[in-house]
Amino acid sequence: MAQAVRRQTSLFATDGKPHPLQDTLVAVTLTMGVIAFVSSMFAHLHLLSSWAGLVGILTGGYGQFISVTTRERTALIIGLGASGFGFFLGMAHGGLFGGLIG
């Protein structure tokens, strides 16, 4: 009795195909989102939170554009939300170049 063994190639790929670029964008977006979200709680880390948030927003936006599965989109939205939160609080506390330029 030969049965086809279906191996999952990725945590986020539900179609059984590998998506290395999408998985990388998901990982970067989630990582930047966590960094931006946590560092935005401290006003003196506004440079870190605003830059990490900006990178997370850009990678998450491109990831949404090329995502294939619902799991990828769900993780990207979570990362985008955290990145946006950190970015906007970082901007409110001093911005991308606060104190370095001008």
* pLDDT tens for each residue of 48-78: 999 999 999 999 999 999 999 999 999 999 9
If you average pLDDT over residues 34-61, what whole number do you get?
96
* Residue bearing the bigger pLDDT, 39 or 10: 39
Neighbours of 48 (CB within 10 A): 17
pLDDT at position 1 over 60: no
Which 8-state DSSP code applies to residue 83? Answer: H
The percent of residues above 70 in pLDDT, for the chain, comes to: 83
Specify the amino acid at residue 35.
Answer: I
Which of these, 3, 1, 28, 25, lies nearest to 13 by C-alpha position? 25
- Burial class of residue 63, CB neighbours in 10 A (0-12, 13-18, 19+): buried
Which 8-state DSSP code applies to residue 7? Answer: -
Question: Could you read off the pLDDT of 74-93 as tens digits, one per residue?
Answer: 999 999 999 999 999 999 99
